[in-house]
A and B are shown apart, each in its own frame.
Chain A
Amino acid sequence: MPKSSKGNQKIVATPSSEIKIKINGCWRNFELGRDIRPNMTLSFFLRENLGYTGLKIACDEGGCGACTVIMDGKAVLSCMMLAVEANGHEIITIEGLQKDDPVVEAFAQQCEPGYGTALQCGICTPGFVMSTKALLEENSVPTIDEVKEALSGHICRCGCYAGIAQAVTHASEKIVKEGESS
């Protein structure tokens, strides 16, 4: 389940009020007040100020998982974090994934009979993809119960959970195979 990092994180406020965040591989500097208001959520900042609209703000209160991004390797709900809390950390949004990312590919390609597709309207998909990325980074061969545990903080109202579970399995297989051949 994506976790809010609220409460377990130090805010390193430099005297110049400079905020440094590594976003999709590049460190970027922002000025507190000018670029980031203290009350700005990370989700708002990433979408409205930086244009990373892959993450969605659907509930804005940690109830649906659509805003999930990866921070320091963990899936986090960006609507439950302030942008300033990302200071000094690495954030990956769905825009930061490779074009042929095995998780993205598995979500896109799922059509195995009996499970439906892994997405329909697609609005929850980036969140599911990011949580799956974080899960498989940590545990490349999860059991179905582990998959359910990891993804149960997400709502897919189109209800593609069976297709999503298949996609996670296929992504896991591909990652393991690639690991063996490299």
Chain B
Amino acid sequence: MNQPYKKRPGSNRKFVGGYQPRIDAWEKARGKVKYIDDLTIKSRFPELLYAKVLRSPHAHARIKKIDVTRAEQLAGVVSVMTYKDEEFASLRPTNAGWTDGVDTVSYDRMMWRKFIDRRVLGDSACWVTDEVGAVVAAETEEIADEAIRLIDVEWDVLPFVLDPMEAMKPGAPQIHPEITLNNILPPDKVGGEDVFMDKGDVDQGFADAEVIVDGTSIHHNATQASLDNWCCVVHWTDEKLTLYSNSYEADQSRMHISEMLGLPLHKVNVISSYVGGQFGRGDTGEQPFFLFTAVLSKKTGHPVKFRHTRRESFHDSRQPSIYYGKVGAGKDGIITSLYFKSIGNTGAYADHSIFALKFAPKEIAEVSFAHIPNVKLESYAVYTNKLPACMMRGVGNSQFNLIFGHVIDLLAEKLDMDPIDLCIKNFGHKWETLPNKSLTQVLKQGAEKIGWKEKRHKPGRGPTRDKVKKRGVGFSVHPAWHAEWQEVRRGRIPVSITLNPDGTVILNAPTVETGTGSNTCNVLGCAEALSFLNITPEDIHWNHVVNTETSLKDCVQTDSSVSYLQSEVLAVAAKEIKKQILERAEPVFNVKSRELNIADGHIFVRKNPDQSLSVKEVLFQDDLVPIVVTTSRVPNAKKTGVPYFANFAEVEVDIDTGKVDVLHLVVINDCGTVMFASGAEAQQVGGQVMGMGEALTEEIIYDEITGVPLNFNFIDYKIPTMADMPEIDPILLEIWKGAGKYGACGVGEGTLTCTPRAIMNAIYNAIGVRINDIPIKPEKIIRAMGKA
């Protein structure tokens, strides 16, 4: 039995921050929850057709000729359409990152509007398996598949490039000449110049520094691997277009469809239910599939389903990147100069590359490097003919932490200093003086839990066990995201509380439930805000279906922050509920509402508390019309900085075989306020599967000769299972506090961002040789040790 976390001293919360099951736990444990593929089985849509899309067999090619005659003649095929059809030729080109943002934006306001590089269905393919040329609707998926095979294409096969370093060289194949002639994404308004941060004078800082270290790190492309494969059903009738999807954002999908297909918003209905895992999936080059499925539905008059196979669901990943980092410091360990340069493998389409490479690191620098006088950040996003992808849990931060934790470890070693002390001495935001309280507590408590003092030794100098096994410990630390001030871009966040006359509540705080647990956070937050009614979370019904015709705008499942954003608004709504109850009580008590108050579910006269009736008694004397309060609020923009989180790892390395066993992981998050302890711990424990997978086993592998991805399946792409996971200690802290009633901060992404670097530093501590290219497979260890 582990100890529950310690609440902030003086906090008096009844429900928020509690240990309890998720609100959907029974339904999910009984298999009753319906995901998109369950909701759209053919028996529910008897007229259903299935769509498939032609995929490029080449890494870079253009269609010279296409002949769909044989496909059209196949029995069971209802429609074959190509890029030449007016329905597709007339569609505006787009950017796949458009539909993946925290806020709903129109075509003209999409975040990466400088990189409009993709057609919904075009004639050019930029990576192997790119969607290109033709789509089919048929009575069964098998027939649709067969029809795709019967399409005759004559390809103009073009030279391709997979490595960003090669792609930057003069003479490399040009992938999107309409945007760039050297494959490097040009500077844009959102991301800024190539050197996107230049504070002080970095060169002078290095010239003056007493100690300088530098290094590189390489992050490959793990995939989100949500078990719920991408899927949609579109029914486009004369009356309206209905989309059932497992995208994690309903309102943005509605805007996307409206703007691309020219339908007014009220003629587009997007319906989302439970989603089986999200993890950032959403900005792949695959997104236009809503649109071609819609076009097929209109053409055939049938509802049309398009779902990825498992292999196709691999078409999204973290953006691979190469980082160089350099740090200059005094002998006292005070860092004076910091420089980071990155080269990102954007892949075939730009989507959110710049978010990972510039936007996220800029925020990290703002909140963590405020006390360092000279900081320079430089980045290049490079098109290649690989999988276009970027957004994955901890976007940009995971890659940045890999180099950050590396140079810190290097510098500490050179200074002969504990890296924990080094971090405490240097990092923190500008809103407070050093040392940062959150950072200090996160590191001290994490260190104690892993046994840092006892287990840390000089690199490679620990005892050897069983003749071949060496142990080591390591950690990495990172500023959390996101606090409320970082979410202002979302605009208004609407919620609605319906108080029934019997005192029960219907909560309309829509968000697509992807497993994050924000639904339970909402219910706990609502119960807390309405605690004057003496209700419990069981008295609150949270509606899990997001339907853009009947729901409020959904709060998009990004930035790990839905867990508290809606609760902050619910606190405002609850005050209005109270006010309206008292107004309804006026005629019953025959006094003005300001003379009344509510506590423990009872309305009473302030001057004479004995004169009291339960809320239910009062409402049942009224007209029995529920009290409905709908309100919205823009996140509080007050800059409060952010808290910190860290991961500590203990590993055992077999120096003969190169196998790494992770023995123990400690994951420690300062949450500001814990909204739902069991959910937060589930994120902490669960995040380690992804973090450890990225560190040791998970990687999409290509045939470098042809550009063909080789392991789009769960047999060859290794996700850790229960048998692989070590003991994990989740620690929740409440040190920092943001603005707002709860002042919480996102947790979910901050559970795994540091895991790879913590494991890498632990490996170095064990064997005394650094490997900076993840995943660290056994062969890399053997090679680094000079044994191969």
Contacts and interface: CB of A to CB of B under 8 A. Distances in A.
Contacts of B506: none
A60 B27 CA distance: 24
Nearest to B721: A152
Interface in B11-46: 19-22, 24-35, 37-38, 41-43
Interface of B, helix, strand, loop or mixed by DSSP: loop
Interface in A57-78: 57-64, 66
A117 B721 CA distance: 17
A interface bracket (residues with beta carbon within 8 Å of B): 35 or more
B687 A110 contact: no
A95 B33 CA distance: 11
Nearest to B684: A116
Interface in A135-150: 147-149
B310 to A, nearest CB: 4
Contacts of A165: 722
Given A53-B34, A157-B277, A125 B28 contact: yes
B35 A104 contact: no
A122 B310 contact: no
Contacts of B229: 58
Contacts of B38: 47, 53
5 contacts: A53-B37, A94-B30, A117-B25, A124-B227, A156-B689
Interface in B238-277: 274-277
A159 B729 CA distance: 14
B550 interface: no
B275 A113 contact: no
Interface in B676-726: 677-679, 681-690, 713-715, 719, 721-725
B4 A122 contact: no
Contacts, number: 214
Nearest to A50: B43
Nearest to A51: B43
A164 B722 contact: yes
B20 A57 contact: no
Contact of A58 (B1, B310, B689): B310
Q: What are the 8 closest A-B residue pairs judged by CB atoms, nearest first? A: A114-B2, A121-B515, A54-B31, A123-B276, A122-B28, A159-B686, A63-B714, A116-B682
A120 B227 contact: no
A52 to B, nearest CB: 9
A2 interface: no
Contact of A116 (B24, B310, B678): B678
Contacts of A57: 37
B722 A55 contact: no
Given A159-B688, A159-B725, 13 more contacts: A61-B714, A105-B29, A108-B25, A114-B3, A116-B681, A120-B682, A121-B276, A122-B515, A123-B227, A129-B31, A157-B689, A158-B682, A162-B728
A66 B1 CA distance: 30
B684 A107 contact: no
Contacts of A147: 722
A172 to B, nearest CB: 15
B199 to A, nearest CB: 38
Contact of A113 (B19, B32, B277): B19
A20 B270 CA distance: 41
B28 A115 contact: no
A94 B689 CA distance: 26
B31 A120 contact: no
A92 to B, nearest CB: 12
A147 B721 CA distance: 12
Contacts of B42: 48
B562 to A, nearest CB: 14
A112 interface: yes
A84 interface: no
B682 A160 contact: yes
Interface-central residue, A63, A97, A109, A117, by most chain B CB under 10 Å: A117
A65 to B, nearest CB: 9
Contacts of B37: 53, 56-57
Interface of B: 1-5, 19-22, 24-35, 37-38, 41-43, 224-229, 274-279, 309-310, 514-517, 677-679, 681-690, 713-715, 719, 721-725, 728-730
Contact of B722 (A93, A94, A115, A161): A161
B558 to A, nearest CB: 16
Contacts of A129: 29, 31
A62 B606 CA distance: 66
Given A114-B730, A162-B725, A120 B516 contact: yes
Interface of A: 47-49, 51, 53-64, 66, 93-95, 97, 99, 104-105, 107-126, 129, 147-149, 151-165
B310 A59 contact: yes
A40 to B, nearest CB: 10
A110 B19 contact: no
Nearest to A147: B722
Given A64-B714, A121-B276, A152-B723, A104 B684 contact: no
A59 B308 CA distance: 10
Given A115-B2, A153-B721, A162 B685 contact: yes
Nearest to A106: B29
Contact of A53 (B21, B41, B516): B41
Contact of A59 (B689, B713, B730): B713
A111 B714 CA distance: 29
A56 B276 contact: yes
Nearest to B723: A152
A29 B22 CA distance: 39
B41 A51 contact: yes
A129 to B, nearest CB: 6
B722 A121 contact: no
Nearest to A129: B29
Nearest to B307: A57
Contacts of A99: 30
Contacts of A60: 309-310
A158 B686 contact: yes
A157 B517 contact: no
A159 B690 contact: yes
Contacts of A56: 35, 37, 227-228, 276
Nearest to A64: B714
Given A157-B227, A159-B690, A122 B41 contact: no
Given A121-B514, A122-B24, A113 B4 contact: yes
Nearest to B732: A113
A93 B228 CA distance: 19
A113 B3 contact: yes
A125 B685 contact: no
A152 B31 CA distance: 20
A157 B279 contact: yes
